[in-house]
Amino acid sequence: MKKLFLASAIALFATVSAQEYKPAAGDVTVDLGVSGGLGNTSIGLADGGAAFKVRYFKTDKLAYRFTMVLANNSDTDNSVTNVVSKDNDFALGLGFGAEKHFTGTDRLSPYVGGDIMIGYASQSSKSTFTPTSGTAVVSEVKGPNTFGAGVRGVFGADYYFAKRVFLGVEAGLSLMYSSEGDTTTSLTGSPDVTVKGGSNFNISPSVVTGIRIGYAF
């Protein structure tokens, strides 16, 4: 009887010890990408953006996930006399999916999962030359804008280095369809020139957010 009681106490302590660090059913985790790639490069997400993920743990081993990558860059160059150049890039990627977590250790939580993904990216550039006399000359390129959709399988792990606080890493393989819009070039005094876009389908590896840091609520 004493042995049975001791075994039950040890099992209970191990469960409590594990849950002290890792999330359980009903918990929500939020994490941010702190280095590495952003989103899925197959849908043309730009560098220099922000990536985050939210998960809801339906059970201790099953979590639903939402991911978002956002990049918005705008640069102005005045280094050339009488010329102002501006570049604008925007990208948004969204993912919806689930994760299956394995036992791991008290602090390590490995998992596999999958996402349904959509993404949009746009770009434009404009250069204005203003002579000391006469009319300004403006050249501008708009596009191509890109839309992507597909699925991605992922594998990763979270390590809880403190209570409810973790570092994570994730990678995967994606199947993506992307559609590229037209590119229009305009120049003062000349007719616009438009190049038609196209579409493609590819399979590619992807780093989701490189290293992430997160917290379990």
Task: Taking residues 17-26, report their average pLDDT.
Answer: 77
**Does 56 have pLDDT greater than 80?**
yes
If pLDDT is split at 50, 70 and 90, which confidence band does 138 have? Answer: very high
73 CB-near residues (< 8 Å, 6+ apart) = 46, 48, 49, 87, 88, 89, 90
pLDDT at 1: 46
E strand or H helix that includes residue 21: helix 2-21
As a whole number of angstroms, the distance between CA 23 and CA 99 comes to: 13
Q: Choose the most confident range, by mean pLDDT, from 1-15, 94-108, 172-186.
A: 94-108
- Residue 32's φ and ψ, nearest 5 degrees, are -125, 140
Task: Taking residues 61-72, report their average pLDDT.
Answer: 92
If pLDDT is split at 50, 70 and 90, which confidence band does 208 have? Answer: low
> 75, 116, 101, 125: which is closest to 18 by C-alpha?
101
Residue where the block lists tokens 């996930």 = 65
Ramachandran bin of 134, using left for φ above 0, alpha for ψ from -120 to 50, beta for the remaining angles: left
**Does 5 have pLDDT greater than 70?**
no
As a whole number of angstroms, the distance between CA 167 and CA 125 comes to: 38
If pLDDT is split at 50, 70 and 90, which confidence band does 77 have? Answer: very high
All domains of the chain, ordered by start, with CATH? 2-216 (2.40.160)
pLDDT tens sequence across 154-202 = 999 999 999 899 999 888 888 888 898 999 999 998 898 999 988 887 7
pLDDT tens sequence across 84-95 = 999 999 999 999
Q: How many residues does the chain have?
A: 217
* Six-digit token string for 11: 């099992």
pLDDT at 21: 85
Side-chain half-sphere CA neighbours of 9 within 13 A? 6
27 vs 198, more confident: 27
> 216, 205, 200: which is closest to 37 by C-alpha?
205
Indicate the average pLDDT of the chain.
82
